[in-house]
Each structure stands twice: as structure tokens, then as C-alpha cells.
Amino acid sequence: MRRFLIAGNWKMNTTRQSGVALAGELAAVAANYDPAVEVLVCPPHPYLIPVAEKLGGSAVQIGAQDCYFQAPGAFTGEVAVEMLKDCGCRYVILGHSERRHVLGETDEIINRKTRAAISGGLHVILCVGELLSERQAGQTEEVLDRQMQGGLSGVTEAEAEHLVIAYEPVWAIGTGVTATPEQAESAHEHLRNWLASRYTPAFSERVRILYGGSVKADNAETLLGQANVDGALVGGASLKASTFVPIIEAACKLSTRT
């Protein structure tokens, strides 16, 4: 059985003080949900170290929101995989829609980052998802296939063991509009089938596929209750313990189902 992963993507939010305080609140409650649910927070780069220090020894994992694909060297402003590991990161989010659509990242760049992160020892949360116009034009599956193909080019099954997929329809991110459970399940099932044919069916059954896009306490249980939804990548609602913890609780409740 796949273990739920509830990941908080803080994006370009929090201060050092508020981030550390939030980490402290999560560390205090996470022990109650471990090992049923894996909890992860992804703070902005400057706060990785103080947040990791606050989380030290707790059940909450830490990850980064991006990385560069080159080894340390003359790449002004970028952050290398080994630096993230040095700060305590276990995960890195790659291919987030804001990096694709605001910062202009291509599938080729995302692929280089994915391969560098996995070979450097990080787990990758690879985000894929369609724009509203693409969904309306009936191109959702085609877009997902293209992003999966591009992002995972040259990634072997052994390497892909370090992979989590996040389905994040762009029209649902930060908009308050959530995909219906049926829309999410249909995309997740499609992604799992893609993984089965690109790798093997047995492998595809092990890969966790998270849903992201306006996940909140009141919709978490229905979304997480779908057969192919193995967790959530949460933006806005991850910025306060009072809105993030109920999502962890929903996963915990479902994970004890028989």
C-alpha cells in the first residue's frame, strides 16, 4: 500500500520567524500521524536551515522548491542539489506550474533538474498539469503525456523509485477552484497507466501521485479518498498549522481504512 504524503509548498511566503514557528507547531503534532502519513514542508531556500533545525528529530521532512542541475560552480543565484542535501533536504519540487509558466522552464530544463536531483540523492516531486485552455480544448491527457515524457526522459526505473508525481491542474492552483474528485481521479489514473507502460505495471503501483490545487480541510478527505490519489501538494493552506493539520488528519483517517 502507498503511504500518503502531505507536502506543504510554502512558495515565496513566510519570514524566518513565522516559518520556524510553523515548523515548530507541525513538529509537535506530526508524531501523532507518523508513520501512517508522511509530512513534508518546502520552505523558501533562505529558511531551509532554521526550519530544518526546528524540525530536527521530528517526523516532518524538509524539501526545497527548486534546484539547479549543475554541480557547484559559477552559476550566480542558483542552488545545487548537494547544497540542499547539506541543508537537510530529502525532497525537491520540480516543474511546478509557476516555474513553467512564470519563470519559463521547459520540459528539457525540468528533465535535467530531475536527473541531477535523483542522482544527487534527493526524492523528486515532479509536477505536471494542464492550463484551463488546454482542458477546455480536450488536451489534458496529451499535455500530461508530453510533460511526463519530457520530464522523465532518460530516467530509468531504478532512478524513478525516487520519484513522486504531483498532478496540479494550473486552473486550480491558488484559485480556490478545486478539481472535482472525478477529474482528479481520472488524471491520476491516466498518469499511473502512463507509468505502467513507460516502466512496468508493478512499478506504477508503487509510485505516489499527489493532487495539488486549492486543497483545503473541507475537500481533502474526498480528494484523498480517490483510489489513485496518494497525497496532496498544498500551497495556501500549508501556511498555517490550523489549515494544514486538518489535511494531514484527513489522510490519517483514510490510511487506517481497511
Residues serving a catalytic function are 96, 168
Q: What are the helix (H) ranges across 120-233? A: 132-136, 140-151, 157-160, 181-198, 201-206, 217-224
Using CB under 6 A as the binding rule, whether residue 235 contacts ligand PGA is answered as yes
Q: What is the DSSP letter of 36?
A: T
Stretch that binds ligand PGA, among 50-58, 133-141, 186-194, 234-242 (CB under 6 A): 234-242
Residue 5 near residue 124 (C-beta atoms within 8 A) = no
Stretch that binds ligand PGA, among 27-35, 99-107, 206-214, 246-254 (CB under 6 A): 206-214
Q: What are the helix (H) ranges across 58-200? A: 81-86, 97-101, 107-119, 132-136, 140-151, 157-160, 181-198
Could you say which residues in the range 122-181 bind ligand PGA, by CB under 6 A?
168, 173-174
Could you tell me how many residues of this chain bind ligand PGA (CB under 6 A)?
Answer: 13
Sign of CA dihedral 238, 240, 246, 249: positive
Using CB under 6 A as the binding rule, whether residue 65 contacts ligand PGA is answered as no
Question: Grid coordinates in use for 29?
Answer: 503534532
Give 124's strand partners: 92, 163
Using CB under 6 A as the binding rule, whether residue 218 contacts ligand PGA is answered as no
Using CB under 6 A as the binding rule, whether residue 213 contacts ligand PGA is answered as yes
Q: Of 6 and 148, which CB lies nearer to ligand PGA in the complex structure? A: 6
Q: Report the residue from 43, 95, 231, 236 that binds ligand PGA according to the rule CB under 6 A.
A: 236
Smallest distance from ligand PGA to CB 140, Å: 17
Cα separation, 192 vs 188, in Å, equals 6
Smallest distance from ligand PGA to CB 11, Å: 7
Binding site residues, ligand PGA, CB under 6 A? 9, 168, 173-174, 212-215, 233-237
